[in-house]
């Protein structure tokens, strides 16, 4: 009997431990509080996030609160996944989800309960950046002379804060036989023959963003003041003195606007080239004096309007060719 | 005649003949062995005689020879048809034989050729040998009996057909058969087709002359054209290597040579077949003068970072000055100074590097020209440096005329482009009060070695503009400039405490003191600051103009110094001399004392830390005005603008000021009241109050009309008989709350037996009821509804936050009226609806503050569905001062108190 008691006493602790363990499991099973809801809350305004884009600027972070219901859920752990980890990264700590925007684009973050994986919440993260939304040429049209090369001022990006990295352009011509693109990534064109061509500058960021400028290739001139010379060859002068006014023409509109004595005050000439052997001290009088000890001197003279001294309205290449 | 007869006749004839001959006896007879009397050319026939003795033979006629044995040989040249007579002589006689010469007969033919091999292009002569050789033949035909599809015989020569593809027939056999026409004799010969190799190189060129920049294209051809085998060849310049170079088959003049060095030279080029050095060809090209090409290219001014186009656009004109069809990439470019601009060697694209100009040489063939590229690097910004933030922000600097002024400049360089130096230009303009330029140039100020000398007093606008011009280029639109208005006055500049102490001298009355740096009251920077000077009041009399220029007088290094008494002010403008009226202008100055809001020492002297500081340091930061009506002058024109005071018992005190204006005042960290106003006629504008121990602003008017007798006991104005008036404009911002803590001052404060919380409770509740009625009449809502809204508004406005569990003790702002004045009676006697009722003196609209407006605005916000965010701002901008509100009330005293301690 004594032995039996001793054996029972020895066995009893094990039975008790087993019983406690089983009881604990049963209790755990019945006391487990399941996750019933999962919501994402914007920490800035406490709004529950519907499934709409949350805009975050590149480099910035935004915090969201993962609200697990009920609050006392046994296992509030969540799994977080993102469709595109290139666009944003995320960290989660104590129910606070911090999303950091990496790259322009849009993706979705999905938060799901570990306890019940069918309970999920997702929201769209729209990473915003200073990307172009439009392009605009300062001018819609320009004229060009056959045989001449021009640099078109690139269109301005909209918004003006567009980052440099998004500012690539590709240039195209609607008719390469009329206007040739000399540099596909720059605005250099060459007019080949008379006609019209539409030059398109497309954003390399998004080819649906583009701007166009119409290039009229013609030998005619449309500015108020221009040189009465249309040939692509240089204008040859043989005498050492040459008066630019001898080849100046005005538009009818200009002539109507200004009486004769006032016309020359509306524009000025500018020597565009750095060559020796040309005296332009009397350029304001239209006079160019060449050094006749030289046989050939090439110069370029531009016309500028006083009202807009930065814009050249015509340009001529003059060559002094001593006979 | 019958047959028998005929035969008999024949026999008889025969017998007769035999008889006749036999009758002649033995006789030498000569004949040919074949008994023919014909002999062919070259043929030999044996003569036979009918005797056996010695016989001699002799050709007596014709072209033949006969030997001793009688072998007669006809000469090959013997004429056909001629006769040969041979005589044989023996002992018995002679005999003669005549033979007629006939044509020699062809026995056979042999076909041969001069080679057993044949290659395309080769003509192999076919030869037919006759046997005998002198035989005559009418003709021989040659037929290609094998390989006729690619070989043919033309004019007796075998050749490979032109159309034959050499590669396909190499190794094949050709059989040619020769056939005589008459006799049909044939013979064959076989040849093997072998590959035709290069036999000759031909070197040619597309031009006989070469000029600078041009290319002569060479051409090497082979003979035969279809030659196979290794046709590789080497092309070398064997003469003129110093001036010419080959690039493949292109021959050109080397770069960098002058016309004189090359013209007239001959370039000899040799092509040699690698397989066989014996096969070669040479050509001579003569170097001549190049065609004249004229290049023109515009200069370019490049404002770094701003130009849209960044490439040169050269044009080339030929000798007739026609524009050549060239692109920018056809030219080559070099820059004379790559520290200024780099240029793409082959595309002309410019990369600005640094400020300056460089020549770009543009070349095409042997022609070149230059253009000038100006790279103008404008700095990002220019700003004065070494000045206080206030000066830089306000763009105004007060300065004494008698000193020269040297501005330090902070020029932010262009971060992308280099620039070593930066010129600047100064411009001086004298402005009138309207800011219009009334004079400029040297009459206003001059600058020498950076030091400006002012030649006038007044507002002088000094404009400094960067000068980045190059070669006279107008860079004005790109330049950066900054300007500051220097208020030049006849005063002195204050650099040290000693300067400030000197300014206390009466002789400086009417003159300005301009602070031009921060003044720390420590021994190092202010020698002579001993105990005797410490806490000495700096007292200024007469008209004074003190311009702080945003600098600070920092007292934090001062240790405590026993009791200095309650009257010790730091800056005191109290006694205004014997004249009756005086002007004081005090602006742009900050003073930092050593007290905290509980009056404890927070200065830098470690030994004094935490000690009671109110009695051991300055009591007031600034005190202006006077107290007693004692016949002395008073301040009748006061402007205190942009003054900041902290760290005293009382920050700022105004007393009996007439026509005062205090604007942009910032007071904080004072143990008692921040600002104290006593018996002034003054306007307060834009007042900011930080934490203080007591009330932010204390106003103590004593001009009340006693309800009992209607008498006025005003003490303001020149005659000390006007009602004090404090006009509040702009805003009063208070952050004078303390997160649940109290200050020592407030803990001990009671007013008329009421604690502050009790007072607040009553104010608010009554006010809500009053305003609710008004709001209801304006909105059409019920009073109850408005009360509900307003209660909520008041609660949210006046409480620290929206948590209902917070108690009323969270008030942090209160419009409060001193209970010692009669106006407060309305609150205590309970007869009036509100202490905010119209103040009975009612003589000045200027003293109206509309708390109603605050609440009404908030009410509107809520009624319109505003959010908490929209009206919680009222926590900080609590008093919107509406001078026109009909619902206003006159405040005798405004106290902005701190968050009260919750007892």
Position B578 scores a pLDDT of 57
| CB neighbourhood size of B474 (10 A) | 11
Handedness of CA B816, B820, B822, B825 (dihedral sign): positive
Preferred mutation among A156, A190, A274, A310 to probe B, highest tally of B CBs within 10 A: A274
Among candidates B697, B758, B727, which has minimal Cα distance to B900?
B758
Residue A47 lies in a domain: yes
Name the token pair of B117.
């091999």
Chain A 158-187, CB below 8 Å of chain B: which residues? 182-183, 186-187
What is the rounded average pLDDT of the residues B336-358?
A: 90
Q: Nearest Cβ partner of B369 from A151, A234, A275?
A: A275
Buried b / exposed e along B183-206 (16+ C-beta atoms within 10 A): bebbbebebebbbbbbeebebebe
**Lowest-pLDDT range of B554-558, B629-633, B824-828:** B824-828
Give, in degrees to the nearest 5, the angle at Cα A264 between A261 and A266.
Answer: 110
Q: Nearest Cβ partner of B315 from A182, A317, A321?
A: A317
B298 chain-A contacts, CB cut-off 8 A: 272-273, 300, 302
Buried b / exposed e along B562-574 (16+ C-beta atoms within 10 A): eebeeebbbbbbb
Cα–Cα distance for residue pair B818/B193, rounded to 1 Å: 136
Position B39 scores a pLDDT of 87
Position B282 scores a pLDDT of 93
Position B785 scores a pLDDT of 60
Q: What is the pLDDT of residues A198-225, one digit of tens each?
A: 999 999 988 899 999 999 999 888 889 9
What is the rounded average pLDDT of the residues B283-302?
A: 87
CATH of the domain at A304: 2.60.40
Position B307 scores a pLDDT of 52
A299 in contact with chain B, both atoms CB, cutoff 8 A: yes
The backbone torsions φ and ψ at residue A284, rounded to the nearest 5 degrees and listed phi first, read -65, -20
Size of interface A-B (CB pairs under 8 A): 73
**Lowest-pLDDT range of A123-132, B101-110, B750-759, B775-784:** B750-759
Higher local confidence (pLDDT), B829 or B389: B389
For residue A133, the distance in angstroms to the closest alpha carbon of chain B comes to: 20
Task: Give the nearest chain B residue to A180 (CA atoms).
Answer: B327
Position B816 scores a pLDDT of 34
Name the token pair of A180.
């040739």
Q: In chain A, which ranges are continuous DSSP H helix?
A: 2-31, 252-257, 260-263
A233 in contact with chain B, both atoms CB, cutoff 8 A: yes
For residue B335, the distance in angstroms to the closest alpha carbon of chain A comes to: 14
Strand partners, A249: A226
- Helix then strand then coil, % of chain B, to nearest 5: 15, 40, 45
Position A19 scores a pLDDT of 78
Name the token pair of B706.
């006693």
Query: Residues near A137 by Cβ (< 8 Å), separated by ≥ 6?
Result: A152, A153, A155, A156, A201, A211, A212, A213
Q: Nearest Cβ partner of B321 from A147, A183, A236?
A: A236
Q: How confident is the model at residue B811 (pLDDT cuts 50, 70, 90)?
A: very low
Q: Nearest Cβ partner of B311 from A151, A153, A233?
A: A151
A153 chain-B contacts, CB cut-off 8 A: 308-309
Architecture of B381-489 per CATH? Sandwich (2.60)
Higher local confidence (pLDDT), B362 or B800: B362
A272 chain-B contacts, CB cut-off 8 A: 298-299
Query: Residues near A23 by Cβ (< 8 Å), separated by ≥ 6?
Result: none
Domain boundary at A217, A244, A277, which?
Answer: A217
Q: Nearest Cβ partner of B296 from A150, A233, A317?
A: A317
**Long-range interactions of B578-582: CB distance < 8 A, separation 24+:** B578/B632, B578/B633, B579/B542, B579/B633, B580/B633, B580/B634, B580/B636, B580/B718, B581/B633, B581/B634, B581/B635, B581/B636, B581/B637, B581/B658, B581/B718, B582/B542, B582/B543, B582/B544, B582/B633, B582/B634, B582/B635, B582/B636, B582/B637
Domain boundary at A217, A235, A267, which?
Answer: A217
Task: Give the nearest chain B residue to A300 (CA atoms).
Answer: B298
- A283 pLDDT more than 60: yes
Sequence length of chain A is 323
Q: Nearest Cβ partner of A147 from B292, B320, B323?
A: B323
- B840 pLDDT more than 50: no
Q: Are B408 and B425 in contact (CB under 8 A)?
A: no
Strand partners, B465: B425, B481
A317 chain-B contacts, CB cut-off 8 A: 296, 315, 317, 323
Q: Give the H or E element holding residue B739.
A: none
Residue A276 lies in a domain: yes
Q: How confident is the model at residue B887 (pLDDT cuts 50, 70, 90)?
A: very low
Residue A2 lies in a domain: no
Domain boundary at A217, A242, A259, which?
Answer: A217
Report the range out of A11-15, B378-382, B436-440, B770-774 with the highest average pLDDT. B436-440
Quick check: helix, strand or coil at residue B771? helix
Cα–Cα distance for residue pair B601/B617, rounded to 1 Å: 9
Average pLDDT of chain B to the nearest whole number: 76
Q: Are A177 and A251 in contact (CB under 8 A)?
A: no
Q: What is the pLDDT of residues B466-525, one digit of tens each?
A: 999 888 888 888 899 999 999 999 999 999 888 998 999 989 989 999 999 999 887 666
Q: What is the pLDDT of residues B601-626, one digit of tens each?
A: 999 989 899 898 887 788 899 999 87
Quick check: helix, strand or coil at residue B314? coil
> Residue A249 belongs to what domain range?
225-321
pTM assigned to the model: 0.58
Name the token pair of B147.
């390989």
Residue A67 lies in a domain: yes
- A145 pLDDT more than 90: no
Position B651 scores a pLDDT of 94
Residue A117 lies in a domain: yes
Q: How confident is the model at residue B804 (pLDDT cuts 50, 70, 90)?
A: very low
Handedness of CA B177, B181, B186, B187 (dihedral sign): negative
Query: Residues near A47 by Cβ (< 8 Å), separated by ≥ 6?
Result: A41
HSE (side-chain half, CA atoms, 13 Å) at B301: 14
What is the rounded average pLDDT of the residues A108-123?
A: 86
DSSP states of A49-64 as a string? P-SSEEEEETT-EEEE
Q: Nearest Cβ partner of A151 from B313, B321, B327?
A: B313
Position B485 scores a pLDDT of 96
Quick check: helix, strand or coil at residue A314? strand
Query: Residues near B65 by Cβ (< 8 Å), separated by ≥ 6?
Result: B59, B72, B73, B75
Position B625 scores a pLDDT of 82
Fold of B200-287: Immunoglobulin-like (2.60.40)
A182 chain-B contacts, CB cut-off 8 A: 327-328
Q: What is the pLDDT of residues A1-59, one digit of tens each?
A: 678 888 888 888 788 888 777 776 666 666 788 888 888 888 777 677 766 678 899 99
- B901 pLDDT more than 50: no
Fold of B27-102: Immunoglobulin-like (2.60.40)
- B832 pLDDT more than 50: no
**Long-range interactions of A171-174: CB distance < 8 A, separation 24+:** A171/A199, A171/A200, A171/A201, A171/A202, A172/A199, A172/A200, A172/A202, A173/A197, A173/A198, A173/A199, A173/A200, A174/A198, A174/A199, A174/A200
Tell me the ipTM for this assembly. 0.71
Buried b / exposed e along A9-43 (16+ C-beta atoms within 10 A): eeeeeeeeeeeeeeeeeeeeeeeeeebeebebbee
Give, in degrees to the nearest 5, the angle at Cα B824 between B821 and B825.
Answer: 105
Handedness of CA B647, B648, B649, B654 (dihedral sign): negative
DSSP states of B647-666 as a string? SSSEEEEEES-SSEEEEEEE
Name the token pair of B111.
């076909």
Name the token pair of A253.
């509109």
A298 chain-B contacts, CB cut-off 8 A: 294-296, 317, 369
Preferred mutation among B323, B357, B359, B369 to probe A, highest tally of A CBs within 10 A: B323
Q: Are B628 and B682 in contact (CB under 8 A)?
A: no
**Lowest-pLDDT range of A220-229, B434-443, B801-810:** B801-810
CATH of the domain at A77: 2.60.40.1080
The residue behind tokens 């405590």 is B560
Handedness of CA B513, B517, B518, B521 (dihedral sign): negative
Position B447 scores a pLDDT of 95
Domain coordinates in residue numbering, chain B = 27-102, 108-194, 200-287, 294-376, 381-489, 492-728, 741-890
A322 chain-B contacts, CB cut-off 8 A: none
Q: Where are the beta strands (DSSP E) in B13-115?
A: 30-32, 38-40, 44-49, 55-61, 64-66, 71-74, 83-90, 93-102, 108-113
B315 chain-A contacts, CB cut-off 8 A: 149, 317
Question: Helices B851-863 and B783-798: crossing angle, nearest 10°?
Answer: 110
B309 chain-A contacts, CB cut-off 8 A: 151, 153, 187
Burial class of residue B371 in the structure, from the number of CB atoms within 10 Å of its CB (0-12 exposed, 13-18 middle, 19+ buried): buried
Higher local confidence (pLDDT), B588 or B229: B588
Q: Nearest Cβ partner of B323 from A232, A299, A300?
A: A232
Of all residues in chain B, what percent carry a pLDDT higher than 90?
30
Residue A161 lies in a domain: yes
Cα–Cα distance for residue pair B111/B179, rounded to 1 Å: 9
The backbone torsions φ and ψ at residue B107, rounded to the nearest 5 degrees and listed phi first, read -100, -40
- B764 pLDDT more than 80: no
Position A196 scores a pLDDT of 94
Residue A21 lies in a domain: no
Position A120 scores a pLDDT of 86
End-to-end CA distance of chain B: 200
Architecture of B492-728 per CATH? 3 Solenoid (2.160)
A141 and A90 both lie in a single domain: no
Q: What is the pLDDT of residues B543-600, one digit of tens each?
A: 899 999 999 999 998 888 765 554 588 998 876 555 667 889 999 999 999 999 888 9
Q: Are B549 and B516 in contact (CB under 8 A)?
A: yes
Q: What does the H/E/C string look like for B122-144?
A: CEEEEEEEEECCCCCCCCEEEEE
Residue A99 lies in a domain: yes
Position B678 scores a pLDDT of 75
Q: How many domains does chain A have?
A: 3
Fold of B294-376: Immunoglobulin-like (2.60.40)
B370 chain-A contacts, CB cut-off 8 A: 274-275
For residue A28, the distance in angstroms to the closest alpha carbon of chain B comes to: 37
Position B120 scores a pLDDT of 87
**Lowest-pLDDT range of A135-144, B481-490, B697-706:** B697-706
Q: What is the CATH number of domain B108-194?
A: 2.60.40.1080
Cα–Cα distance for residue pair B687/B642, rounded to 1 Å: 10
A254 and A297 both lie in a single domain: yes
Position B155 scores a pLDDT of 86
A154 chain-B contacts, CB cut-off 8 A: 308
Same CATH fold, B200-287 and B108-194?
A: yes
Q: Nearest Cβ partner of B317 from A183, A274, A319?
A: A319
Preferred mutation among A135, A234, A237 to probe B, highest tally of B CBs within 10 A: A234
Position B531 scores a pLDDT of 60
Q: Are A224 and A251 in contact (CB under 8 A)?
A: yes
What is the rounded average pLDDT of the residues B846-872?
A: 41
Q: In B271-376, which ranges are continuous DSSP H helix?
A: none
Handedness of CA B148, B154, B160, B163 (dihedral sign): negative
Q: How confident is the model at residue B364 (pLDDT cuts 50, 70, 90)?
A: confident
A190 and A206 both lie in a single domain: yes
What is the rounded average pLDDT of the residues B643-656?
A: 92
Q: Nearest Cβ partner of A274 from B299, B308, B321?
A: B299
Task: Give the nearest chain A residue to B370 (CA atoms).
Answer: A274
Q: Do B327 and A273 touch (CB under 8 A)?
A: no
A245 and A205 both lie in a single domain: no
Q: Do A153 and B321 touch (CB under 8 A)?
A: no
Among candidates B763, B766, B778, which has minimal Cα distance to B856?
B778
Q: What is the pLDDT of residues B53-89, one digit of tens each?
A: 888 888 888 888 888 888 888 888 888 888 888 888 8
């Amino acid at each position: 009997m004594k032995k039996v008691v001793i054996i029972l006493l020895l066995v009893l602790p094990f039975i008790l431990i087993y019983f406690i363990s089983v009881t604990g499991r049963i209790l755990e099973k019945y006391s487990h509080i399941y996750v019933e809801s999962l919501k994402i809350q914007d920490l800035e305004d406490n709004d529950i996030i519907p499934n709409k884009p949350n805009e975050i600027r590149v480099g910035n972070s935004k915090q969201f609160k993962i609200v697990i219901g009920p609050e006392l859920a046994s296992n509030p752990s969540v799994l977080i996944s993102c469709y595109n980890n290139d666009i944003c990264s995320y960290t989660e700590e104590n129910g606070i989800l911090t999303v950091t925007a990496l790259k322009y684009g849009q993706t979705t973050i999905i938060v799901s309960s570990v306890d019940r994986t069918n309970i999920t919440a997702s929201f769209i993260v729209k990473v915003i950046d200073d990307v172009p939304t439009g392009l605009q040429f300062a001018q819609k049209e320009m004229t060009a002379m056959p045989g001449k090369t021009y640099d078109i001022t690139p269109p301005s990006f909209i918004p003006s804060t567009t980052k440099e990295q998004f500012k690539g352009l590709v240039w195209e011509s609607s008719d390469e036989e009329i206007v040739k693109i000399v540099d596909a990534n720059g605005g250099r064109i060459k007019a080949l023959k008379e006609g019209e061509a539409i030059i398109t500058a497309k954003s390399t960021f998004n080819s649906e963003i583009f701007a166009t400028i119409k290039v009229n290739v013609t030998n005619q001139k449309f500015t108020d003041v221009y040189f009465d010379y249309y040939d692509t060859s240089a204008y040859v002068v043989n005498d050492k003195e040459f008066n630019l006014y001898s080849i100046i023409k005005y538009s009818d509109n200009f002539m109507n606007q200004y009486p004769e004595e006032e016309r020359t005050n509306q524009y000025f000439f500018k020597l565009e080239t750095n060559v020796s052997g040309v005296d332009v001290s009397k350029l304001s009088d239209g006079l160019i004096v060449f050094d006749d000890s030289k046989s050939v001197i090439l110069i370029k003279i531009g016309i500028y309007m006083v009202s807009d001294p930065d814009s050249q309205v015509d340009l001529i290449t003059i060559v002094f060719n001593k006979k | 005649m019958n047959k028998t007869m005929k035969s008999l006749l024949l026999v008889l004839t025969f017998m007769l003949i035999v008889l006749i001959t036999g009758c002649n006896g033995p006789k030498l007879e000569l004949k040919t062995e074949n008994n023919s009397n014909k002999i062919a050319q070259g043929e030999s026939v044996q003569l036979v005689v009918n005797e056996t003795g010695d016989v001699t033979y002799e050709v007596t006629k014709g072209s033949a020879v006969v030997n001793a044995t009688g072998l007669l040989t006809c000469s090959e040249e013997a004429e056909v048809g001629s006769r040969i007579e041979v005589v044989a002589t023996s002992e018995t006689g002679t005999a003669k034989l005549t033979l007629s010469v006939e044509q020699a007969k062809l026995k056979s033919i042999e076909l041969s050729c001069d080679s057993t091999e044949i290659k395309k292009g080769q003509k192999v002569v076919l030869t037919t040998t006759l046997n005998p050789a002198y035989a005559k033949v009418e003709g021989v035909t040659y037929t290609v009996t094998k390989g006729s599809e690619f070989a043919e015989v033309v004019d007796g020569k075998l050749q490979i057909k032109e159309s034959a593809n050499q590669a396909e027939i190499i190794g094949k056999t050709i059989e040619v058969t020769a056939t005589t026409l008459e006799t049909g004799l044939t013979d064959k010969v076989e040849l093997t087709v072998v590959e035709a190799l290069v036999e000759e190189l031909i070197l040619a060129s597309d031009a006989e002359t070469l000029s600078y920049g041009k290319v002569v294209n060479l051409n090497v051809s082979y003979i035969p054209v279809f030659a196979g085998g290794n046709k590789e060849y080497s092309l070398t310049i064997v003469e003129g290597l110093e001036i010419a170079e080959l690039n493949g088959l292109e021959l050109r003049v080397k770069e960098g040579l002058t016309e004189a060095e090359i013209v007239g030279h001959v370039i000899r080029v040799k092509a040699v077949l690698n397989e066989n050095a014996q096969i070669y060809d040479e050509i001579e090209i003569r170097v001549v003068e190049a065609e004249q090409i004229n290049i023109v290219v515009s200069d370019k001014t490049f404002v770094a970072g701003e130009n849209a186009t960044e490439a040169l656009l050269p044009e080339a004109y030929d000798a007739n000055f026609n524009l050549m069809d060239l692109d920018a990439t056809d030219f080559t470019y070099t820059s004379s100074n790559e520290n200024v601009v780099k240029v793409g060697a082959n595309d002309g694209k410019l990369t600005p590097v640094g400020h300056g100009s460089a020549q770009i040489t543009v070349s095409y063939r042997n022609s070149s020209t230059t253009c000038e590229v100006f790279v103008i690097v404008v700095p990002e910004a220019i700003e004065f440096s070494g000045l206080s933030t206030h000066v830089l922000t306000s763009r105004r600097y007060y300065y004494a005329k008698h000193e020269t002024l040297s501005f330090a400049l902070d020029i932010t360089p262009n971060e992308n482009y280099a620039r070593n130096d930066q010129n600047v230009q100064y411009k001086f303009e004298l402005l009138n009060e309207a800011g219009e330029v009334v004079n400029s140039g040297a009459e206003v100020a001059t600058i020498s070695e950076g030091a400006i000398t002012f030649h006038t007093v007044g507002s002088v606008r000094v404009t400094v503009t960067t000068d980045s011009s190059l070669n006279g280029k107008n860079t004005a639109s790109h330049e950066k400039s900054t300007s500051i208005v220097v208020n030049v006055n006849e005063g002195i500049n204050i650099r040290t405490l000693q300067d400030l102490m000197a300014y206390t001298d009466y002789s400086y009355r009417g003159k300005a003191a301009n602070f031009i740096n921060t003044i720390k009251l420590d021994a190092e920077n202010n020698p002579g600051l001993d105990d005797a000077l410490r806490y000495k009041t700096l007292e200024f009399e007469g008209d004074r103009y003190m311009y702080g220029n945003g600098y600070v007088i920092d007292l934090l290094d001062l240790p405590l110094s026993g009791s200095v008494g309650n009257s010790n002010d730091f800056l005191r403008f109290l006694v205004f001399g014997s004249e009756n009226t005086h002007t004081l202008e005090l602006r742009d100055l900050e003073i930092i004392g050593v007290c905290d809001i509980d009056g404890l020492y927070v200065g830098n002297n470690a030994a004094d830390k935490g000690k009671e500081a109110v009695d051991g340091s300055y009591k007031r930061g600034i005190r202006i005005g006077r107290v007693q009506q004692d016949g002395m002058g008073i301040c009748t024109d006061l402007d205190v603008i942009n003054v900041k005071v902290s760290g005293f018992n009382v920050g700022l005190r105004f007393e009996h000021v007439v026509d005062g204006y205090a604007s942009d005042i910032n007071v904080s960290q004072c143990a008692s009241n921040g600002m104290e106003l006593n018996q002034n006629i003054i306007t307060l504008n834009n007042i900011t109050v930080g934490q203080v121990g007591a009330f932010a602003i204390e106003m103590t008017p004593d001009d009340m009309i006693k309800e009992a007798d209607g008498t006025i006991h005003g003490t303001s104005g020149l005659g000390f008989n006007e009602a004090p008036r404090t006009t509040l404009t702009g805003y009063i911002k208070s952050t004078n709350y303390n997160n649940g803590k109290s200050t020592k001052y407030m803990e001990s404060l009671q007013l008329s037996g009421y604690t502050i919380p009790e007072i607040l409770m009553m104010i608010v509740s009554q006010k809500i009821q009053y305003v609710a009625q008004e709001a209801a009449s304006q909105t059409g809502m019920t009073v109850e509804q408005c009360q509900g809204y307003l209660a909520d508004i008041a609660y949210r406005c006046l409480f620290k936050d929206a948590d209902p569990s917070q108690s009323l003790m969270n008030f942090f702002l209160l419009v409060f009226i001193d209970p010692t004045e009669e106006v407060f009676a309305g609150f205590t006697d309970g007869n009036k609806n509100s202490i905010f009722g119209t103040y009975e003196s009612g003589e000045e609209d200027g003293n109206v503050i509309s708390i109603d407006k605050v609440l009404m605005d908030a009410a509107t916000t809520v009624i319109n569905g505003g959010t908490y965010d929209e009206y919680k701002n009222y926590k900080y901008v609590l008093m919107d001062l509406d001078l026109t509100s009909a619902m206003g009330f006159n405040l005798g005293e405004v106290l902005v108190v701190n968050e009260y301690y919750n007892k």
